[in-house]
Amino acid sequence: MIPVDYYIILSAILFTIGVLGVLVRRNALIIFMSIELMLNAANLAIVAFGSVFESFSGQIFVFFVIAVAAAEVAVGLALIVEIFRSKRSIDVDQVSSLKG
Amino acid sequence: MTLDLALFLLLALIAIASALGMLISRNTVYSALYLVLNFVTVAVFYLLLSAPFIAMVQITVYAGAIMVLFLFVIMLLGAEGLPKSEVLPWQKPLAIGLSVLLFAEAAYLLVTKSRPVGNVLPPAEAVNATENLQQLGIALFRDYLLPFEVVSILLLVAMVGAIVLTKKERKARQ
Amino acid sequence: MHLSESVNTGFLFLAPWLVFFPVIGLLINTLFGHKFSERMIGAVASLASGAAFVVSVLLYVTVSGAHGEAMRWQLAEWMHIGTLSLDWTFRVDSLSTTMMLVVSGVGTLIHIYAIGYMHEDVRFKNDVGRFRRFFVFLNLFIAAMMVLITGDSYLMLFVGWEGVGLCSFLLVGFWYELDLLARPSWSNSFAAVKAFVANRVGDFGFLIATFIMFWAFGSLQFDKVFQQVPTVAPGVIIAITLFFLLGVTGKSAQVPLYVWLPDAMAGPTPVSALIHAATMVTAGVYLVARSAPLYSSVPEAQNIVALVGAVTALFAATIAAGQFDIKKVLAYSTISQLGFMVAAVGMGAYVAGIFHLVTHAFFKALLFLSAGSVILGMERGHHHAAHANHDNHGKGKKGKRKEERHDARAERSHSDSEGADEAHGEVFDPGDMRNMGGLRKTMPVTFWVYMAGMVALSGIPPFSGFWSKDEILLDASMHNQAAYWLLTIAAFFTAFYMGRQIWMVFFGEARHEAAARAEESPKVITVPLIILAALAVLGGALNLPFEGFHNLGHWLEATLGEVESLPLNLQVAGISTLLALLAILISWLMYARKPFAKDQTDPLASLGLFFKGMNNKWWMDELYHLLFINPYIKISYFIAEVIDWRFWHDWFHEKVIMGTYNWISFTGLNEYADQKGIDAFANGLGTWTQSLAGTLRKVQNGFVRSYALSILLGVVLILGYLIFK
């Protein structure tokens, strides 16, 4: 019998690691993977809650999140490839033409 | 300490360790492989939470399809590490500080304020896998049919978008 | 409505169409007239007026079915203020039916006549575009006159009263930039203004009377007012009736406000006939007849009204005898005849007054229209003459009409531009009787209809004017001796000036080339004249002074109450007839036995000062200038120059207001409030915004990770808020 709190703490830890990855790393691919990690952390929390409430909704939600994540990855990687083509680099700091 | 808890702690340790490995690794390929390990761990958690379908999806879609795609791209673009030239000196300490703060706040909020009551059901007491899958399928295609179809369109659009983005325009090259 | 509930209302529902038809006509001509031909415009206007006539006839049938009982048709509520409730209600009774038949009948004939008249008039005056405007105004007049006649309260009557006044103003000033002889001048405008101002004085009286009436009676509705007459003090009623009399003197051109009517002849001749002879100017007579219960209750006021009418009748008749302009003679004759009517209604002889109103509408409209025909003939003759002078081969005389007109217009513009033209060197007045003579041969139809009008007006039995005038004289002989003698002498003068006019215009030899070459008018002009001539000759049959023939009297009884139907009095009739014949004989001796020659002084001039007075209108205009207008101008000048300009403008406005304003604006507001206050604040705001933006700009460094960091900061802050809330 594992209390749901444990899952939640685990989820929070994974999420924070994902946030750190986005903020600290400059490699666009690593940042993207960190985002996937954050999504996973959230999924884990949702399924845990669904298990507590004995509801399918959590699982179905996660199913949709995975589908959306797949779409997101397809487009995101395509963007990264395109950025690499134009900048010859996957360093996100090189992509700073938005500055005011 | 029950067996359940021991299993949980072991898996949690692996998950956190692999996530940190992904974060710290200099080599992009290593990062990707750490992440695969992390995803597989999470899939086991799903099994423990009596969600076998999601666990399978996690392995096939995430650990399989998505991460393979990542690896393809890494190979396409080169896996070499970036030079250590930090243009934002305050970024790292600030990020770490804020992240710790975020974890503290999130954990506090989740555990105290919106605390769900009860324990996670052990897999033995959960319904068996086939029945679970059946019910999930019925819920998905009866109550959530429209979102399901919308997601299919979303995937199609994403596919088209990816193709359009990566396609080299011949005329531009000439 | 409640009055007519018991009787069959028949065609009563058509009453509003008396007003709507002319309004529809004028709207059509206003909106679409620019696409119509002249014939079409005239047809629309005439049909609108004719439709009103048809409605009048149907209403007559309805009312006679109800034995002249008054019927009312409420069209709309106008206003309700406290106890005062005013509606637009149409009142159809024997009096208003009589009036509407005259107005729409004579009006329609004049519309038709005007098609021919204005066709030539706009060409002589070189502005073809004004043809449409004329008919719009004419229809507007018919509509306003119908409102006046059918009004069920003094206020609705006043609406029409002002409406016809407006139309009069517009039509007198129709050629506002010309004078009587079509030279560029503002004199026609001044005539229009004079008519309007004189009417305004009268309207002031009308309004005061209305106010007193509302104060004393609490209502302006005819029936309600008349019911209360016995309960109101006679002094109040005298005040009301005398103020109404002031209105009457303005609208119906009585002494002392008659001066506008002769000048109003500046309008085109159909206007003179319709508005300033047949219909509008009789509104005053109608008002007195309509107010019969009021006037009948106060004999003092009646006497004053009768005397005003009688004095006007004689006074204007003497002036008419001294005029040389064909229309001026008729204008003064109209004033004189209106005096007869006012005297009649003043004496309580309402039927006689209305009877004379009807016959006068026939023969005076006829005379004016014939005079218009004469004037057109003279103008045609003048242009023939001018053409002949221009072209010695003489082709022009036999040329086609169209060609002539073209020539005439070309000539006009030519003479306008060159200044002096051989044929037009002298200013030709087509209305001056001294230029006429012998028109009997060149304009035979006009001559005969003019003769019909003349005998009717002069009071020769058995023509219409004799019967109506005789009835007035008969009433006067019984009620008011002074008025009787004044009117009898006026009748003498009437016959005299009409005889003088006939001899001067139609007999003898042509005294001007134009008269010799004058030409008869087209059918569209002569046919209405012939119809009117028939009415002028036979109109007397409406109310013959024999037992069983008092048709009009019985007809009007329902509205005006019991009227005495007087038999023919041979003494009165004999005196007036003899005097009329005598006057015509004298005029023959003076003007026809030895035909009036060119450049001859008028035989009347031997009367010396008396004739000078008649010719100069007894210097009334000069007197008015001396008494009213010059002091008025002086006062206005004083107010304008001293009070307004020097005091208000130079001192108060320039020095006080502008000085203070300048001080406040320059020193107070500009220097201190604006520059040091508002400007400083606004500039400071701008500077501050700039520096703040410069600082914040650095945040936008373009690094995605920094943006993500700021998002994280936001998330942390929000979670912190959730924890500590």
Question: How many Cβ atoms are within 10 Å of B124's Cβ, its own excluded?
Answer: 7
| pLDDT bucket at A1, cuts 50 / 70 / 90 | low
- The answer to whether A52 contacts B58, with C-beta atoms less than 8 Å apart, is no
User: For the segment B108-156, what is each residue's pLDDT rounded down to a tens digit?
Assistant: 887 776 666 666 666 555 555 567 778 888 888 888 899 999 999 999 9
- The answer to whether A22 contacts C708, with C-beta atoms less than 8 Å apart, is yes
- The answer to whether A100 contacts C705, with C-beta atoms less than 8 Å apart, is no
d(Cα C410, Cα C194) in Å, to the nearest integer? 34
Our CA-based measurement puts residue C695 at a distance from the nearest CA of chain B, in whole angstroms, of 18
Question: How many Cβ atoms are within 10 Å of C640's Cβ, its own excluded?
Answer: 12
Pick the closest to residue C447 from C435, C438, C456, C459 (CA basis): C438
Q: Which residues of A touch B42 (CB under 8 A)?
A: 40, 43-44
Pick the closest to residue C149 from C343, C279, C267 (CA basis): C279
User: Does residue C690 surpass a pLDDT of 70?
Assistant: yes
Chosen for mutation from A10, A31, A83 (greatest number of chain B CBs closer than 10 Å) is: A10
Scanning the structure block, which residue is given the tokens 């529902």? C13
Least confident residue range of A56-70, B84-98, C204-218: B84-98
Determine the average pLDDT of the residues in C293-320: 91
User: Does residue C525 surpass a pLDDT of 50?
Assistant: yes
d(Cα C356, Cα C540) in Å, to the nearest integer? 9
- The answer to whether C719 contacts B91, with C-beta atoms less than 8 Å apart, is no
Least confident residue range of B107-121, C114-128, C142-156: B107-121
CA R_g for chain A: 17
d(Cα C503, Cα C321) in Å, to the nearest integer? 13
Determine the average pLDDT of the residues in C389-405: 46
d(Cα C329, Cα C316) in Å, to the nearest integer? 9
Residue B125 confidence (pLDDT): 52
CATH value of B1-82 in 3.30.300.30, 1.20.120.1200, 3.40.50.970, 3.30.460.80: 1.20.120.1200
Q: Which two tokens stand for residue C459?
A: 């009071």
d(Cα C56, Cα C18) in Å, to the nearest integer? 7
Residue B119 confidence (pLDDT): 67
Determine the average pLDDT of the residues in A69-89: 88
Cross-chain CB nearest to B74 (options A29, A52, A91):
A29
Residue C595 confidence (pLDDT): 75
- The answer to whether C709 contacts B101, with C-beta atoms less than 8 Å apart, is no
Determine the average pLDDT of the residues in C31-44: 90
Residue A2 confidence (pLDDT): 80
User: How far from the centroid of its chain's Cα atoms is residue C436's Cα?
Assistant: 28
Q: Which residues of B touch C723 (CB under 8 A)?
A: 105, 108-109, 113
- The answer to whether A96 contacts C708, with C-beta atoms less than 8 Å apart, is no
Q: What is the dihedral of CA C521, C524, C527, C528, to 10 degrees?
A: -110
Which domains, from first to last, does chain A contain? Answer: 26-91 (1.10.287.3510)
Question: What is the predicted ipTM?
Answer: 0.90
Q: Which residues of A touch B65 (CB under 8 A)?
A: 70
Do B63 and B36 form a contact (C-beta atoms < 8 A)?
yes
CA distances from C213 to B39, C78, C220 (A): 105, 19, 7
Do C351 and C553 form a contact (C-beta atoms < 8 A)?
yes
User: Does residue C711 surpass a pLDDT of 80?
Assistant: yes
| pLDDT bucket at C556, cuts 50 / 70 / 90 | confident
Do C121 and C151 form a contact (C-beta atoms < 8 A)?
no
C 656-715: CB under 8 A from A: 697, 700-705, 708-709, 712
List the domain boundaries for chain B: 1-82
Pick the closest to residue B42 from B25, B59, B27, B28 (CA basis): B59
Determine the average pLDDT of the residues in A16-26: 91
Residue C381 confidence (pLDDT): 87
User: For the segment C433-469, what is each residue's pLDDT rounded down to a tens digit?
Assistant: 888 888 888 889 999 999 999 999 998 888 898 989 9
**Residue C546 falls in which region: left (phi positive, over 0), alpha (psi -120 to 50) or beta:** beta
User: Does residue C398 surpass a pLDDT of 60?
Assistant: no
Pick the closest to residue C360 from C326, C336, C327 (CA basis): C336
Do C274 and C365 form a contact (C-beta atoms < 8 A)?
yes
Q: What is the DSSP letter of B50?
A: T
d(Cα C453, Cα C447) in Å, to the nearest integer? 10
d(Cα C372, Cα B88) in Å, to the nearest integer? 106
Specify the DSSP element, H or E, that contains C527: helix C523-538
- The answer to whether B66 contacts A70, with C-beta atoms less than 8 Å apart, is yes
Chosen for mutation from C699, C700, C704 (greatest number of chain A CBs closer than 10 Å) is: C704
d(Cα A65, Cα A48) in Å, to the nearest integer? 15
Chosen for mutation from B3, B14, B29, B45 (greatest number of chain A CBs closer than 10 Å) is: B45
Chosen for mutation from A34, A39, A60 (greatest number of chain B CBs closer than 10 Å) is: A60
Least confident residue range of B71-75, B83-87, C628-632: B83-87
d(Cα C62, Cα C94) in Å, to the nearest integer? 10
Closest alpha carbon within chain B to C720:
B105
Least confident residue range of A51-65, C95-109, C140-154, C447-461: A51-65
Instruction: Characterize C135-157 residue by residue with b for buried, 16 or more Cβ atoms within 10 angstroms of its Cβ, and e for exposed.
Output: bbbbbbbbbbbbbbbbbbbbbbb
User: Does residue B1 surpass a pLDDT of 70?
Assistant: no
Residue C402 confidence (pLDDT): 42
Higher pLDDT, C62 or C565: C62
Q: Which two tokens stand for residue B130?
A: 């086939």
Closest alpha carbon within chain A to C712:
A19
User: Does residue B10 surpass a pLDDT of 50?
Assistant: yes
Do C491 and C472 form a contact (C-beta atoms < 8 A)?
no
Our CA-based measurement puts residue C705 at a distance from the nearest CA of chain B, in whole angstroms, of 8
C481-506 and C326-346 are packed helices; what angle lies between their axes, rounded to 10 degrees? Answer: 160
Q: What is the DSSP letter of C88?
A: E
Do C301 and C307 form a contact (C-beta atoms < 8 A)?
no
Residue C407 confidence (pLDDT): 45
Determine the average pLDDT of the residues in C241-254: 92
Q: Which residues of A touch C712 (CB under 8 A)?
A: 19, 23
Secondary structure of residue C92 in the 3-state scheme: strand
Residue C403 confidence (pLDDT): 42
Q: Which two tokens stand for residue C128?
A: 């073809």
CA distances from C100 to C15, C59, C562 (A): 11, 9, 22
CA distances from B141 to A54, A64, B46, B127, B151 (A): 19, 13, 22, 20, 13
Residue B60 φ then ψ, to 5°: -70, -45
Query: Which of the other chains make 3 or more beta carbon contacts under 8 angstroms with chain C?
Result: A, B
Chain B residues with a Cβ under 8 Å from any Cβ in chain C? 87-88, 91, 94-95, 98-99, 101-102, 105-106, 108-109, 113
Chosen for mutation from B94, B101, B109, B114 (greatest number of chain C CBs closer than 10 Å) is: B101
| pLDDT bucket at C411, cuts 50 / 70 / 90 | very low
d(Cα A31, Cα A23) in Å, to the nearest integer? 8
Question: How many Cβ atoms are within 10 Å of C457's Cβ, its own excluded?
Answer: 29
Pick the closest to residue C95 from C63, C73, C66 (CA basis): C63
| pLDDT bucket at C255, cuts 50 / 70 / 90 | confident
Determine the average pLDDT of the residues in B43-65: 89
Do C356 and C472 form a contact (C-beta atoms < 8 A)?
yes
CA R_g for chain B: 21
d(Cα C600, Cα C683) in Å, to the nearest integer? 92
Average model confidence (pLDDT) across chain C: 85
Residue C342 confidence (pLDDT): 93
Which residues on neighbouring strands pair with residue C81, listed in sequence order? Answer: C84
Cβ-Cβ contacts under 8 Å between A and B: the total is: 222
Cross-chain CB nearest to B98 (options C706, C716, C722):
C716
Q: Which residues of B touch A7 (CB under 8 A)?
A: 45, 49, 120
Residue C11 confidence (pLDDT): 84
| pLDDT bucket at C594, cuts 50 / 70 / 90 | confident
Closest alpha carbon within chain C to A22:
C705
Specify the DSSP element, H or E, that contains C72: strand C71-81
Residue C332 confidence (pLDDT): 92
Residue C323 confidence (pLDDT): 87
- The answer to whether B105 contacts C719, with C-beta atoms less than 8 Å apart, is yes
Our CA-based measurement puts residue A95 at a distance from the nearest CA of chain B, in whole angstroms, of 13
C154-172 and C187-217 are packed helices; what angle lies between their axes, rounded to 10 degrees? Answer: 180
Cross-chain CB nearest to B108 (options C713, C716, C723):
C723
Residue C549 confidence (pLDDT): 76
Do C81 and C62 form a contact (C-beta atoms < 8 A)?
no
To the nearest whole percent, how much of chain A has pLDDT over 70? 95
Do A37 and A12 form a contact (C-beta atoms < 8 A)?
no
Taking each continuous run of H as one helix and of E as one strand, the counts in chain B are: 8, 0
d(Cα C483, Cα C460) in Å, to the nearest integer? 21
- The answer to whether C708 contacts A92, with C-beta atoms less than 8 Å apart, is no
| pLDDT bucket at A99, cuts 50 / 70 / 90 | low
Question: The whole model's pTM is what?
Answer: 0.64
User: For the segment C611-647, what is each residue's pLDDT rounded down to a tens digit?
Assistant: 777 777 777 778 887 888 888 888 888 888 888 888 8
